[in-house]
Amino acid sequence: MTPEQSMATLWRTAMLAVVMVLGCGPLLAADLIPMSQQQRQAMGIRTAPVALATESWSVAYPAQVQVPTAQLRVVSTPLSGLLESLLVAEGDAVKKGQKLAFILSPELLSLQRSYLQALSRLDLARSDWERDRQLLEEGIIAERRYQTTHAHYVQVRTEVEQGRQTLQLAGMDRDALKRLAEERQLSGTLTVRSPLDGVVLERLATPGQRLNALDPLYRIGRLQPLWLEIHVPLDHLSQIDVGSTVRVMKPRVDGKVITIGRMVHGADQGVLVRAEVTEGAERLHPGQYVEVELATGRAARNYRIPLGALVRQGAKTWVFVARASGFLVVPVVIHAEESDSVVVSADLKPGDQVVMSGTAALKAAWLEGAD
């Protein structure tokens, strides 16, 4: 006799013993199926502990890691020119104001020249205004001439301010503008600086490339916190609320739901659920796909049991709970199905052992005794 035949014979003997012990009386929901330790081993029965569940979790959904829109910047060239050099690369951490690139720009020379000319006109207009104010006080000139001189001074001052703002938008800081006004030395090299503390996510240009105004150079993001964008089936949406906990399977980090969308996406008939991850965000990477579970409810006395422990008979669901002399048949009510477990309410206690392997044999014995 082969080992497989010997095991089958032993299993049939154990089943016959169970049926003989059960007798002919019908088994009710709370009846005990008597069984010795040797019979359990022969039937390959394995158990797992029951755990108290104060929170139930959904099945796993795919999610993509995204940088929040308020933390994302595309750094562009403010003026046309030739990209001379790039100073940082993809993946580098940068600080606000850090130099990112140098651009040779004839347009910058033109703006600087216009600014210096406006400064010269401002000096002359200020001198004329101050002279006419003194002459007006002495009664030598008419007030209308003074007003004309003052209006011209205000106009030129506005042109100077416009030129200053234009150069600042082009990348010149206050120190560079001050040196330009004092030294009157033009420079055609434009310095592009980082607008925020963050990480270079993408390089979008190549040294030696001719650029037009607003052509992109880099994409930079601040990676704390991050978003998880999840598509949840419409019929599961009622179980999720803003503020619900979201947990990433690998790596294990948690987040909170901050947005539940209204639009159903045609590709998968899912609704966008957005979660924010603050603690542990450094373990995630923008663009990464991960699996997540969402908290779907709370209950005071629910229990989490392995999915394989459920036994369905008719319209009801049961579990076999281990006792010293056998297994107790206990009805359960399912509240949530998770990836590899279910959350139920039942007459159980934390630490109870429920059968998760060998349930088919126990169910056969149970039904055989009920006939």
Answer whether 111's CB lies under 8 Å from 166's CB.
Answer: yes
Statement to judge: residues 75 and 216 lie in one domain: yes
Statement to judge: residues 340 and 286 lie in one domain: no
Residues 6+ apart with CB under 8 A from 313: 363, 367
Predicted model pTM: 0.65
Distance of CA 189 to the CA centre of its chain: 39
**Which CATH number is 40's domain given?**
2.40.420.20
Domain interval for residue 32? 3-55+298-370
The CB density around residue 177, as the number of other CB atoms within 10 Å, is 16
Statement to judge: residues 156 and 146 lie in one domain: yes
Please say which residue of 187, 207, 241 terminates a domain. Answer: 187
Statement to judge: residues 214 and 74 lie in one domain: yes
Closest CA to 255 of 229, 285, 275: 275
Please say which residue of 138, 170, 187 terminates a domain. Answer: 187
pLDDT tens per residue, range 43-65: 888 999 988 877 777 888 999 99
Statement to judge: residues 238 and 290 lie in one domain: yes
Statement to judge: residues 137 and 178 lie in one domain: yes
pLDDT tens per residue, range 110-151: 999 999 999 999 999 999 999 999 999 988 889 999 999 999
Statement to judge: residues 93 and 199 lie in one domain: yes
Statement to judge: residues 110 and 175 lie in one domain: yes
**Which CATH number is 240's domain given?**
2.40.30.170
- Mean pLDDT by runs of 10 across the 371 residues of the chain is 48 45 41 85 88 79 95 95 96 95 95 96 95 91 93 96 94 90 92 95 96 96 96 85 92 94 85 95 95 76 86 88 90 81 85 88 76 55
What are the tokens at 59? 């099945």
DSSP state of 26: P
Answer whether 200's CB lies under 8 Å from 90's CB.
Answer: yes
With tokens 């989490």, the residue in question is 304
Statement to judge: residues 124 and 168 lie in one domain: yes
Statement to judge: residues 88 and 208 lie in one domain: yes
Q: How many domains does the chain have?
A: 4
Statement to judge: residues 25 and 156 lie in one domain: no
Please say which residue of 297, 328, 350 terminates a domain. Answer: 297
The separation between the first and the last C-alpha atoms of the chain, rounded to the nearest angstrom, is 33
Cis check: omega of the bond before 251, within 30 degrees of 0: yes
Residues 6+ apart with CB under 8 A from 37: none
Answer whether 21's CB lies under 8 Å from 317's CB.
Answer: no
Answer whether 232's CB lies under 8 Å from 239's CB.
Answer: no
pLDDT at 83 (0 to 100): 97
Q: Which amino acid is at 324?
A: A
E strand segments, 240-368:
245-248, 253-264, 270-277, 289-306, 311-313, 316-323, 326-337, 341-346, 353-357
What are the tokens at 167? 């150069």
**From CA 296, how far away is CA 58, in angstroms rounded?**
6
pLDDT at 266 (0 to 100): 78
What are the tokens at 5? 């035949």
What are the tokens at 266? 């045609």
**Which CATH number is 208's domain given?**
2.40.50.100
Statement to judge: residues 308 and 358 lie in one domain: yes
- Render 198-225 in DSSP notation, one character per residue: EEEEEE---TT-EE-TT-EEEEEE--SS
pLDDT at 299 (0 to 100): 53
